[in-house]
Structure 1
């Protein structure tokens, strides 16, 4: 099954789709550093990037009708700054809003299904009307805005089209859900809204994959069974205070059926600390100590024995505390690029281009590879059984 990846960035969503069995016929982004990252890994033969047809340029200039192959899936994370908590909250007034281009790709390629991702901020009440506008445009991509038509006028026409129940033309059955990456085995609490739409003529039933991991299961393994500490060989004197987590665990009546959330310690414990062991850390690519970390209210770093806080790109680079590790003794340091890649479930043999700030921007904007693969695998299997 063929796919097209828009706004690929560092490639998390695209890699997940490729690992799920989709074959990309076009992978595109305008960002030089992100494309350099992909090109180098392609030249190094990194699977699955090695066979990607990479296009650097503005998606506005890409002619999707030039793709002659049938496309089963269109994926992408339209730039999220208009909706991000760290952005300027301009939404439809922000020229960086790329949802119109994502919708154009769906209209011109007519895929069996699409998968788009964006920040949770898009679901805030202040964007409610625009969220519905996106939803209806994805549902009826052929109902295009007229010249000089305001978006609210276009929304009204889409609402009329929807309530009339018309099935003429291209239409999709669209569902959206906020997924927390930690609930799917990613060592990071990262909430993002996902849109999935199946073309109306496919007659497919689908729902988002069920969660596999939970916070309660982690707390049980830490404060009830103790197997978390035993497996990681953490002595009692090196364990943090239980606090509210231990109190919550003690209220659990039964051991949860789900798997435990994956923690920062589990994700990076085999890597030497670049601040304490710089000579050993130098043997790992992109694993260098970055000075300057500081803590202040709201930016206290990620505890070692929890999933990381959401890695962020920020409007002006990396915000000053969210991409930090907080050790049990209270000391802090920035995550290295390699550690951040681990937290985003990129493979260890992948390398990244640009300065630390630039590379962290790529990683902060990415979809965790594992989460993307889980959702895309479910879609792939559904299409396979439905064909």
Structure 2
């Protein structure tokens, strides 16, 4: 569940996660009170029987005595948290579904409902923040297992996928999971998806990728396929893996899976797909492998090449979007100029949770990523710290300018290494698809300078460029939100892939 019971809070990390979600609860309610012109501070902070009952439903406490423990643990947030709970009891219609993801009882109802469906099933390894899963869910699948080794990614994934059982979202090493797969997955998986890192790029006719010790995680992904015998596999990786695609194909063709007294083998193919061909406001190249269990291929007379060709053919029917489509209709911010304050909210540089100045439906791109839903609250829209030197560089560059531009020669700290740091500074071009959003943004955002405002892009803007909806919340430390977003597969591109497979399930 999204909340641990207070009895299970055993260390600083657990406490930090509890506080972050309680702050989220408070801020969502405060935003709704502002939207509906109700004074939040006038709401009662009395702990009544129905207040206690509600906090039990949320999942933080199990009895009345736990309230005292909670008060000690989360002070000075306690009073505002009680007010936010009482507000939700006073104005349930105004709250609507905004707090559903922060309520263990409601999440359990979602999970029971999902369990009764007959949707095709997905297992997602290296799930990250959930981009691939989100695309497949939007295309009509249900996730029965997700795994990642980064605990912050698991927190984000779990929060945003309330329909997936908590026990089916596992933070851990894939090696431990695959070696004990029956302890985690007890249902048939129609499709296994994931992006295992492949770091040891071998030359042709030399050591194969699966044998390189640096690619152990990839090897375990293959082993998971072998154990689960899914009907389909979707594996994504960087375009730089293309020269080694034949090695990967060979690995899949060597899979011999045994399930239900039957032997299964696989056929596989791959293509480099570019995200802006599939409704994403970003030019991101990904190498996509699709494998089909041969009995399914024969049953439907379909090959991986057929499916990949179908995916490619859809691009002519998809609307093309530019960076400006993602960056428009969101509050203008100024760069944070105070060092070590990225975690702090500010009226000028933005807040983690804030009333949206717009509806999230103003253009066709926002309608697409938000699925025609209005977004009264915006998340993760905070401008990061920028030094005086970098502020001047940002200010002087025009769209499309990079670190070699003569306007900043007198400022460039890396001028003697322009061959290495040419892209160190780059101002994005508004009327083109964005350059690739990467996990490096966690380190700095100089490569993604806002085209009109003197700052780098915010996590929310990066998420929009990746095609995440505006209510997809990225949990964890501020800089880690960039990592989560940059590592994700764009959900809209994942959805197109999923839609072209589901017809065979």
TM-score, reference length from structure 1: 0.69
Tell me by how many angstroms 1:207 deviates. Answer: 2.1
Give runs of ≥4 in structure 1 deviating > 6 Å: none
Query: Does the CA contact (< 8 Å) of 2:334 and 2:454 recur in 1?
Result: no
1:306 is displaced (CA, Å) by 1.0
Match 1:344 to one of 442, 461, 466: 466
Could you tell me how far apart the structure 1 residues matched to 2:317 and 2:147 are?
37
Change in CA separation of 1:318 and 1:108 when aligned onto 2, cut-off 3 Å: same
Between the aligned partners of 2:459 and 2:200, the Cα distance in structure 1 is: 26
Contact 1:291 / 1:334 at 8 angstroms: preserved in 2?
no
* Distance apart, 1:185 and its partner CA: 0.9
Trace 1:153-192 onto structure 2 (pairs within 5 A): 169-192=263-286
2:159 is equivalent to residue 34 of structure 1? no
Q: Which residue is equivalent to 1:108?
A: 227
* Greater RCO (CA < 8 Å, at least 6 residues apart): 1
Which of 330, 340, 352 is the matching residue for 1:271? 330
Mapped to 2, the partners of 1:353 and 1:376 lie a distance apart of 26
Deviation at 1:211, TM superposition (A): 4.8
Q: Does 1:64 align with 2:166?
A: no
> Is residue 249 of structure 2 the alignment partner of residue 135 of structure 1?
yes
CA contact (8 A) 1:318 1:357 kept: yes
Distance in 2, Cα, partners of 1:139 & 1:322: 40
Instruction: For 2:290 and 2:499, locate their aligned partners in 1 and report how far apart those are by CA, in whole Å.
Output: 13
CA contact (8 A) 2:198 2:218 kept: no
1:84-133 deviation line (CA, Å, top 9, x unaligned): xxxxxx9664636521111011100000011010011112x4xx3xx322
| Structure 1: stretches of 5+ with no match in the other structure | 84-89, 144-167, 214-256
* Larger fraction in helix: 2
CA distance in 2, matches of 1:382, 1:375: 12
Contact 1:312 1:323 in 2 (8 A): no
Residues 224-373 of structure 1 correspond to what in structure 2 (within 5 A)? 260-275=319-334, 279=347, 281-282=350-351, 283=354, 284-292=378-386, 296=403, 297-298=422-423, 299-314=425-440, 317-318=442-443, 320-327=445-452, 332-373=454-495
Q: Structure 1 residues 51, 18: CA separation in 2 closer, same or farther (over 3 Å shift)?
A: farther
> Are the aligned partners of 2:149 and 2:172 in contact in 1 as well (CA < 8 Å)?
yes
Q: Which SS does the other structure have where 2:455 is aligned?
A: strand
Answer with 274-283 or 133-142: which moved more: 274-283
**Alpha-carbon distance in structure 1 between the residues aligned to 2:167 and 2:476:** 21
Q: CA deviation at 1:356?
A: 3.0
TM-fit CA distance, 1:177: 0.4
Aligned partner of residue 220 in structure 2, secondary structure: helix
SS of equivalent residue, structure 2 residue 269: strand
Report the 3-state secondary structure (helix = DSSP H, G, I; strand = E; otherwise coil) of the residue aligned with 2:268: strand
| Cα 1:340–1:49 shift into 2, 3 Å | farther
| Corresponding residue number in structure 2 for 1:75 | 193
C-alpha separation between the residues in 2 aligned to 1:109 and 1:362? 27
| Pairwise CA distance, 1:12 | 0.2
- Cα deviations by residue, 1:33-80 (Å, 9 ceiling, x for unpaired): 1011123334xx4xx668882111111111223433221100011125
Q: Say if 2:307 is the partner of 1:207.
A: yes
Measured on the aligned residues, the alpha-carbon RMSD in Å equals 2.8
Q: Is the 8 A contact 2:280 2:492 kept in 1?
A: yes
1:81-92 to 2 correspondence within 5 Å? none
Higher-Rg member (1/2): 2
The CA distance in 2 between the partners of 1:133 and 1:65, in whole Å, is 29
Counterpart-to-counterpart distance in 2, 1:81 and 1:361: 18
Distance 1:189 1:40 in 2: 28
Q: Is the 8 A contact 1:9 1:362 kept in 2?
A: yes
State the number of aligned residues.
297
Change (3 A) 1:320 1:344: closer
Report the 3-state secondary structure (helix = DSSP H, G, I; strand = E; otherwise coil) of the residue aligned with 2:170.
strand
SS at match of 2:381: coil
Return the TM-score normalized by structure 2: 0.54
Q: Which runs of 5+ in 2 are unaligned?
A: 1-119, 202-207, 337-345, 355-377, 395-401, 404-421
- Verify the 8 A CA contact 2:335 2:456 in the aligned structure 1: no
